[in-house]
Structure 1
């Protein structure tokens, strides 16, 4: 437990101290966000706000995770695990894709970075590597970080995926979650605050999996998850990084995370769902991101089929803005939805455990 607290605390401190340094540096370099003309008119005042703040989140995440392991030496803690490093690798790879997208947009001085095809190539490339590696590195009990079975809280034994299907499934997960978080990152602090809540839920879940692990205490209801304690350290570090960044990203934002942060955090959520065997449960925990992405899909589908717009504007947070809700009201209410979703996810997780042991 102490290592989890250290990871969150170190990442929080690094993020909250590094972000203002990035604000000053990016402002000097002219790395200001371009704003879409077709968006809400109130957003035009945000033009020029420094972006690519996701760099601070990624640095804080790695330092928090690494710092916890340095501290862990004194507590006879284990070293970095395969599961955690694979998730961190996926997160960083998508952060690099987002960074290239952000930098291209800033260089071109318009709100268009990489083409959709180029961005998908980067996302899918990272997903394929993750999918192939996550089935390797078995521990002493032959448990690998990932599983070929679809999972809710545990694997469904009857839903087994051959390698090609599994790789395709991981690609869908990574692209869907990274784009969902990216779409949510449209209001000051919305994505960072919502991710902190989801990661808080995953910190609790992974720590519970560690306490009920089959490798240390094989009994009814135990979890066949590789490295759950190390995954809890990753979750705590990521949550701390998001909270520290939120200090500067909350309305009125002094910096935006950009695609550097949103794609990375979406990849983190996708990776965690795979290695914790909670791919379907993640839909409940990250329900806000699901709703944001679904609103875009619905808007595009209905407009292309019959020319009707279901929402005033998509993603759905812009719909509420155009309905004359103040931006801070939209943010706080969607944070509340994210908190409810996280609590619901933890409740579903625990109820499944009670069913398993009952």
Structure 2
């Protein structure tokens, strides 16, 4: 528990005080955001705002994780390192995308194929490694079973380990791509994705601590009535979640409206990857749909808009993603962000409620 508190505190400090230093560096270099002309006209005033702020979030989280383990003299775990690998790998892909946009002054960064290839390499490597590193209790970081609040009866290795690996890699890739793109689509207004991420990562701090206290490694499964959790490193996953939560909280001070810096794809892809990694390794894959409900809603708005337009030639929303629909409807940016934060908080509360209810009554 000390490691969780230390991680959250250090990452908050780094995010809060490291961001203005990074802003000065970006301003000196002239690394400002390129704004598309086909977006809401109110966004044109944001042209030139420093971007790639995800570097601060990533750096703060990594420093905090290392510091927490040095302070508690505990070695890092395979599960935590895998989530950090996924987050950092996708962050690097996002950084390359942002850097090309800035240096070329265009809305297109990496080519679609190159970006997809980068995401795929990181996601596939994570998925393969997640089924290795067995603990003394014969637990691997990830399971071939699709999980909701814990592993379900749906086993991807139903036809043998070989096919199981392939199916799990596909399943993990879909989750990682969906989550990283969901956070990326949400990152369209000052502080929106950052604030929603703080709440979602906070929920994984609580889940990790609870799973650690009710772990099958320390609680007898018979005594607990079959309610203990088979998760390899739940407490260290809580430490990772605390690192990212604190980093986002500190960054939010500077990212809130009017934003002094944007996280860019560096941040949004990294945060989405971290969420997917936490969900997969804490065996709460489908629960992420509730915990990250705002990201799901915004992603669905884009899917609906594109699909409906292709079928009918008409639009459901004035503009997608959903937050821009309300901008064009005349809502103020701060109003949209605060109300969407409320929605994100309600989804997090619902997800945690379902998580706890399953333990109490066995949903």
Please report the TM-score for the alignment, with normalisation by the length of structure 1: 0.97
User: Which of residues 104, 112, 116 is equivalent to 1:116?
Assistant: 112
Q: Distance in 2 between matches of 1:160 and 1:354?
A: 28
Matched, 1:159 2:155: yes
User: Which of residues 178, 187, 196 is equivalent to 2:189?
Assistant: 187
Aligned to 1:101: 97
Matched, 1:88 2:84: yes
Q: Distance in 2 between matches of 1:96 and 1:339?
A: 29
- What does 1:260-339 align with in structure 2 at a 5 Å threshold? 260-339=266-345
**Does the 8 Å CA contact 2:142/2:283 hold for their aligned counterparts?**
yes
**Does the 8 Å CA contact 1:124/1:174 hold for their aligned counterparts?**
no
User: Which of residues 227, 232, 237 is equivalent to 2:238?
Assistant: 232
Q: CA deviation at 1:308?
A: 1.1
Q: Distance in 2 between matches of 1:190 and 1:155?
A: 32
Aligned residues: 353
Is there any run of 5+ residues in structure 2 with no aligned partner, and where?
Answer: 158-163
Please report the TM-score for the alignment, with normalisation by the length of structure 2: 0.96
Q: Distance in 1 between matches of 2:314 and 2:216?
A: 52
Aligned to 1:51: 51
Aligned to 2:161: none
Provide, for residues 31-75 of structure 1, a one-character-per-residue CA deviation record: whole Å limited to 9, x for no partner.
Answer: 0001011111000000000000000000000111111111112xx
Q: CA deviation at 1:208?
A: 0.1
Is there any run of 5+ residues in structure 1 with no aligned partner, and where?
Answer: none
Aligned to 2:160: none
User: Where does structure 1 differ by over 6 angstroms across 4 or more consecutive aligned residues?
Assistant: none
Q: CA deviation at 1:110?
A: 1.3
Q: How much is the aligned-residue C-alpha RMSD, in angstroms?
A: 0.9
Q: CA deviation at 1:125?
A: 0.9
**Does the 8 Å CA contact 2:156/2:167 hold for their aligned counterparts?**
no
Q: Distance in 2 between matches of 1:311 and 1:277?
A: 35
Provide, for residues 200-235 of structure 1, a one-character-per-residue CA deviation record: whole Å limited to 9, x for no partner.
Answer: 011001100000000111222000001111111101
**Does the 8 Å CA contact 1:120/1:175 hold for their aligned counterparts?**
no
Q: Secondary structure at the match of 1:188?
A: coil
Q: Distance in 2 between matches of 1:194 and 1:3?
A: 24
Q: CA deviation at 1:158?
A: 3.5
Q: Distance in 1 between matches of 2:256 and 2:270?
A: 19
Aligned to 2:207: 205
**Does the 8 Å CA contact 1:188/1:249 hold for their aligned counterparts?**
yes
Q: Distance in 2 between matches of 1:124 and 1:170?
A: 10
Q: CA deviation at 1:157?
A: 2.3
Q: Distance in 2 between matches of 1:8 and 1:261?
A: 18
Q: Distance in 1 between matches of 2:150 and 2:4?
A: 23
Q: Distance in 2 between matches of 1:152 and 1:223?
A: 12
Provide, for residues 213-271 of structure 1, a one-character-per-residue CA deviation record: whole Å limited to 9, x for no partner.
Answer: 00111222000001111111101111000000000000000000000000000000010
Q: Distance in 2 between matches of 1:56 and 1:256?
A: 11
